[in-house]
Amino acid sequence: MAVRAAVAGASGYAGGELLRLLLSHPEVEIGALTGNSNAGQRLGTLQPHLLPLADRVLEVTTAEALSGHDVVFLALPHGQSAAVAEQLGPDVLVVDMGADFRLKDAGDWERFYGSPHAGTWPYGLPELPGARAALEGARRIAVPGCYPTAVSLALFPAYTAGLVEPEAVIVAASGTSGAGKSPKPHLLGSEVMGSMSPYGVGGVHRHTPEMIQNLSAAAGEPVTVSFTPTLAPMPRGILATCSASARRGTTPDAVRAAYEKAYADEPFVRLLPAGQWPATASVYGSNAVQVQVALDEAAGRVVAISAIDNLTKGTAGGAVQSMNIALGLDETTGLTATGVAP
């Protein structure tokens, strides 16, 4: 029997990617699609690539529109998910693709988001230690941020294996879809093509506390994170270049072994053969993660790099993967397509 899924926020990039994936999911039937400013419009206008849904019309996001589904995905501006979730009943699986329920520390939430903390839901990054178990049977899931997904998967094995010091320096390049579909001058094609530029520099990006939360949990002690996001001239993809000081005695073999162990059985994370490095093009449109790691002995740092598609593994693919776990489906259902390259 099909899982009936509703999508609140179907006109944006996260919602569109989710629908693309759900169209290929053999167990899911797509139910209500809602939006706010775009309610009443055909999806064919808003998401012209989703041809099978072209004639569907967006409803206004209300509890009524979203009721009667097994799963409700929320792709809403931050601060809005709690009110919707409350009205959906405890048996409905609510998957929040926004930030509201990711952070455990209310102070962090308030400092970075400037609004009251809504709570903490099971965290939808199954590859983290203990995360998969918390998702089994869950009825509320907080999908991780795109940058924390890429960064946590690049670095946590080095922390769990005790190979690095509790400080990480991260520079990540993201495709422009990570900045959303709301038109702003600096996101115009004319501005972004041919340009690399940083933003949110100096510890102010909202994904910083989420990275700290994940890496500190892996390390078993507080980890400081210097995080610089940059905007790259491509629609999709995150390349996260992460490093941390190697602990005395850390060897290349120990580093390799830690990552091999962490990812031996993970269906979506591919530790590349030595000498091959991740590329965002290789995971374009796919839920796959490419990871590679090296020990720079002269600089005394472990350098770990991951590539994901920010909209797939970084948002909607991660959401479907977690939904699969929560519902007891095979974790890879509907997510096996490889990257579209070149």
* 226 binds a copy of itself per the rule CB under 8 A: yes
Residues 97-116 that bind a copy of itself (CB under 8 A): none
Residues 6 or more apart in contact with residue 298 via CB below 8 angstroms = none
* 62 binds a copy of itself per the rule CB under 8 A: no
* 337 binds a copy of itself per the rule CB under 8 A: yes
Q: How far, in Å, are 75, 176, 177 from residue 193 at the CA level? A: 27, 10, 13
| Shortest spacing between CB 237 and a copy of itself, in angstroms | 6
Q: Could you give the count of Cα atoms lying within 13 Å of 138 in the half-sphere of its Cβ?
A: 26
3-state SS, residue 5: strand
Nearer to a copy of itself, 86 or 296 (CB): 296
Catalytic residue among 3, 18, 58, 146: 146
Beta bridge partners, 169, equal: 226, 243
* 303 binds a copy of itself per the rule CB under 8 A: yes
Nearer to a copy of itself, 83 or 201 (CB): 201
Element (H, E) at 244: strand 238-246
Report the DSSP pairing between strands 238-246 and 197-198. Answer: unpaired
* 295 binds a copy of itself per the rule CB under 8 A: yes
For a copy of itself, which residue of 80, 176, 321, 324 counts as binding (CB under 8 A)? Answer: 176
For a copy of itself, which residue of 169, 216, 254, 257 counts as binding (CB under 8 A)? Answer: 169
Residues 181-210 that bind a copy of itself (CB under 8 A): 181, 183-185, 187-199, 201-203
342: preceding bond cis by omega (within 30 degrees): yes
